[in-house]
Amino acid sequence: MHGSIGLRSLALTAIIAVAAVPGSVGSAHADEKISLDYDFYGNGIRVLTLGFDVMLSDGGYHARYKLKTKGLASIFSKGTTTAISQGKVRTDSLLVNEYFAKIKNSKGNRNLEITWGNGGQPKTNRSYDLGRRKSASIKAVLKPDTPDPVTSMLESMMFDAGRPCEGTRVVYDGKEVFQLIYKYIKRDIVPITANGWFSGPAHMCQLTYEPVAGLSKKKKRRLKKTPIQPFTVWMAPVKSPMLGRSLLMPVRATGRMKWANLEIFIRKGSIAGSPLVPAALAQK
């Protein structure tokens, strides 16, 4: 993406901000819809919205997110990113089958599709050429079970709320492979603010983005000179009627991008048509 505020950079920020860490998944016994909406503020001005919708069923999941620039950000880099992922729900993880992403901005449209199966590396089809060097670097490190960003976000909610912010998660978005590294900070309370809708107990965590493969030489040099600073993320346990236990939801995040101080708030959220209900925090 191009412009002072790149949509791709904002998309990466969204992935970082709402991702979470490994745990265990309970079995689903009925359909349950989860809807989450987030606002991103750069230096106090709303620049991006993120909508994340999920349908869980007894044997599978269908998840979708849509990122869209807002306000001043649209002047510099107007665009949207839409992504869809579907797969199976297992007792301790998700098994992704297919991921589709469409990026639309002033430069045109770019699509990509990733499919998993047969025990080999995920197969990626793009409407554009990634380049030999980038493709080779991805192929050298990509593993068969590396999830896409949407699946990673969904797993972040379905993981065991008793073990938040532990370990490292590797993600593949069709263009890059990167790691999300977690560190637990403390138990905290998220207050209601002018921009934030949720209030209640949450785990305060540190989340660091680390590129692995698929970067250009220019971006490698830039990140080596000025690495992306860790984000602070608040993960709140909320009750799931279908699973009969708590899910871990990202409800707030703060960090620094090249162009601004960034704050991310959940604007609204629901499970099975009802507003999110805070649950008790697990001991750490």
13 against 231, higher pLDDT: 231
When pLDDT is cut at 50, 70 and 90, the band that residue 142 belongs to is: very high
> Has residue 212 been placed in a domain?
yes
User: Residue 254: pLDDT band by 50, 70, 90 thresholds?
Assistant: very high
Tens digit of pLDDT for each residue in 51-88?
Answer: 999 998 878 999 999 999 887 655 566 789 999 999 99
Specify if 1 maps to a domain.
no
For residue 178, count other CB atoms closer than 10 A to its CB: 22
Cβ-based neighbour number of residue 135 at 10 Å: 15
Does residue 188 fall inside a structural domain?
A: yes
Query: Rounded to an integer, what distance in angstroms lies between the CA atom of residue 125 and that of residue 189?
Result: 44
Is the pLDDT reported for residue 225 higher than 70?
Answer: yes
pLDDT score at 177: 97
Answer whether 53's CB lies under 8 Å from 33's CB.
yes
pTM of the model: 0.84
Indicate whether 283 belongs to any domain.
Answer: no
Percent of the chain, pLDDT > 70? 85
The H or E element that residue 83 is part of is strand 79-89
**Structural domain contains residue 284:** no
How far apart are alpha carbons 15 and 228 in whole angstroms? 13
Residue 161 lies in a domain: yes
Q: Give 277's pLDDT tier (boundaries 50, 70, 90).
A: confident
Band (pLDDT 50/70/90 cuts) for residue 193 is confident
Q: How far apart are CA 82 and CA 175, in angstroms?
A: 15
282 belongs to a structural domain:
no
With beta carbons less than 8 A apart as the criterion, state whether 25 and 89 touch. yes
Residue 215: which domain range? 7-275
> Residue type for 108, please?
G
